[in-house]
Chain A
């Protein structure tokens, strides 16, 4: 394992140990029922963070194949959460089966095979044409346009977009690609955490109660700036200069924000609060990777365009 990567992973473990300690102290101090509830939620989140750092950090430390496999599993679980909440009809059955067991594996195999040309067009060209074509064979034309769009959006958000995080492994930027994946995830997730913390501390003005009741303007600005600052300081992990790292972090934070916002809007449309129940305090897998769905493809393509040799 690369020395920088090791330092970063140990740093994360240290950070979480600190968070756990703070959570423990807060838990002993909390008196009012409301405070107890907030601290309990905070501690549940910290416990989940341990799990996520161990799983994702472990996979990345174990190498490219394990990393790609892990993201394929994340996509699988996210796609499952998407279809658990999104209604479908009998006529979509084969298209759904193919999404899970043919399109998703082929897409990630193309990534493992480093076949970039087909990797970027397989879902938006071949899957998007093939799946509605197969759905016509069932003969059900009710809501056909909307149903086709759901099948496509499900794959786009949960498989295609998310896979652009491990796709960073394809890029030769002069630094180990695993570091770029960790960098992307750190900035995206720190942005979420900082927005949550700032929102809890000074959040007053709701950004859009109809889409995401917990998001506030203060949280967004304070949290976003903190995440950009953190991303700038971590420029040593990347091929970017400090200024470039700030710009990249700003893109990650902005895209990540809209990723979370768009997935919240879909959740509201489906009348759900969370995508799932698998991660304690966080909801489902898709609740945790929602920001990544928008941040990963943008970060990938900007890095590929400007920083590959």
Chain B
């Protein structure tokens, strides 16, 4: 039953916003990956998931904010059951390990999808990245960090609106990046953000 609803959700998203995958820098693969994408609307998690082929999608877990997706039973169902999402705290209690559930998944060889901006950006620009991706990259040096750019999402469902405009969204997957030798946090986060931004201009 859940599998059926999942399938239905993917079809619905594909009809509504297209959600086409455009693999520019790498091919779909079931190996351990950290996909990181720009954040434009509530649709972007489902858009990336719908753009992944089924074999990859079933091994990929999106990361969602507990304060939004854990709020009601319906949201929890959509996030945790349908999307196989991991809910994390955006404002963690000091001393806790907010990334622990993600590290566990990566240790199991699964892939995750994160939105390093942390929140949906207001303007046209991609917001500065938070440091979680850097820590994951250091902890799992052999995991591929794949930049993903989602276009048009802010136009499909902008912050503060509930009207969905059915413009087509393409998820562009770029070439994997890694932390360079001796590269510090600030430089890496900047480079990761540039990698996503560069995909925004189609070749």
| A residues apposed to B, CB below 8 Å | 76, 80-81, 83-84, 88, 90, 93-94, 96-97, 100, 276-277
B178 at interface, CB cutoff 8 A = no
Residues 158-175 of chain B, each 1 if its beta carbon lies under 8 Å from chain A, else 0: 100101111110000000
Q: A84-B152, A88-B155, A277-B20 are in contact. Are A94 and B163 (CB under 8 A)?
A: yes
CA distance A91 to B165 in the complex (A): 13
A93 touches B165 (CB 8 A): yes
CA distance A76 to B163 in the complex (A): 16
A80 touches B167 (CB 8 A): yes
Q: A84-B152, A277-B20 are in contact. Are A97 and B163 (CB under 8 A)?
A: yes
CA distance A80 to B161 in the complex (A): 19
Please count how many residues in chain B sit with their CB below 8 Å of the partner chain's CB atoms: 13
CA distance A176 to B164 in the complex (A): 39
CA distance A294 to B164 in the complex (A): 30
Q: Which of chain B's residues has its CB closest to A272's CB?
A: B202
Interface pairs (10), CB distance under 8 Å: A80-B18, A80-B167, A83-B165, A84-B167, A90-B154, A93-B161, A96-B167, A97-B163, A97-B165, A276-B168
CB neighbours of A93 from chain B (8 A)? 155, 158, 161, 163, 165
CB neighbours of B167 from chain A (8 A)? 80, 83-84, 96
For the complex formed, measure the closest distance between the CB of B19 and the CB atoms of chain A, giving whole angstroms: 12
| B residues apposed to A, CB below 8 Å | 18, 20, 152, 154-155, 158, 161, 163-168
CB neighbours of B152 from chain A (8 A)? 84
Determine the main DSSP class of B at the interface with A: loop
B20 touches A100 (CB 8 A): no
For the complex formed, measure the closest distance between the CB of A295 and the CB atoms of chain B, giving whole angstroms: 26
CB neighbours of A80 from chain B (8 A)? 18, 166-168
Most B C-beta atoms less than 10 A away, residue of A80, A81, A83, A84: A84
CB neighbours of A276 from chain B (8 A)? 168
CA distance A68 to B89 in the complex (A): 50
CA distance A277 to B202 in the complex (A): 15
Most B C-beta atoms less than 10 A away, residue of A80, A81, A93, A276: A93
B165 touches A100 (CB 8 A): yes
CB neighbours of B161 from chain A (8 A)? 93
Q: A88-B155, A90-B158, A277-B20 are in contact. Are A97 and B168 (CB under 8 A)?
A: no
> Given contacts A83-B155, A83-B165, A93-B158, could you give 10 more A-B pairs where the C-beta distance is less than 8 Å?
A76-B166, A80-B18, A80-B168, A84-B152, A84-B167, A93-B155, A93-B165, A94-B163, A96-B167, A100-B165
Residue of B154, B163, B164, B168 near A84 (CB, 8 A) is B168
Those 6 A-B pairs whose CB atoms lie nearest each other, nearest first: A97-B163, A84-B168, A96-B165, A83-B167, A84-B167, A97-B165
CB neighbours of B165 from chain A (8 A)? 83, 93, 96-97, 100
Q: Which of chain A's residues has its CB closest to B152's CB?
A: A84
Q: Which of chain A's residues has its CB closest to B154's CB?
A: A90
Q: Which of chain B's residues has its CB closest to A86's CB?
A: B167
CA distance A277 to B21 in the complex (A): 12
B168 touches A81 (CB 8 A): yes
CB neighbours of B154 from chain A (8 A)? 90
CA distance A83 to B154 in the complex (A): 13
Q: Which of chain B's residues has its CB closest to A92's CB?
A: B155
CB neighbours of A84 from chain B (8 A)? 18, 152, 167-168
For the complex formed, measure the closest distance between the CB of B132 and the CB atoms of chain A, giving whole angstroms: 29
Q: A84-B152, A277-B20 are in contact. Are A100 and B158 (CB under 8 A)?
A: no
CB neighbours of B168 from chain A (8 A)? 80-81, 84, 276
Q: Which of chain A's residues has its CB closest to B164's CB?
A: A97
CA distance A63 to B155 in the complex (A): 37
Most B C-beta atoms less than 10 A away, residue of A76, A90, A94, A100: A90
For the complex formed, measure the closest distance between the CB of A164 and the CB atoms of chain B, giving whole angstroms: 23
For the complex formed, measure the closest distance between the CB of B14 and the CB atoms of chain A, giving whole angstroms: 11
CA distance A276 to B166 in the complex (A): 14
CA distance A276 to B167 in the complex (A): 12
CB neighbours of B155 from chain A (8 A)? 83, 88, 93, 96
CA distance A81 to B152 in the complex (A): 12
CA distance A81 to B18 in the complex (A): 10
CB neighbours of B166 from chain A (8 A)? 76, 80, 100
CA distance A100 to B155 in the complex (A): 14
CA distance A277 to B14 in the complex (A): 14
For the complex formed, measure the closest distance between the CB of A23 and the CB atoms of chain B, giving whole angstroms: 27
CA distance A76 to B15 in the complex (A): 12
CA distance A215 to B161 in the complex (A): 43
CB neighbours of A96 from chain B (8 A)? 155, 165, 167
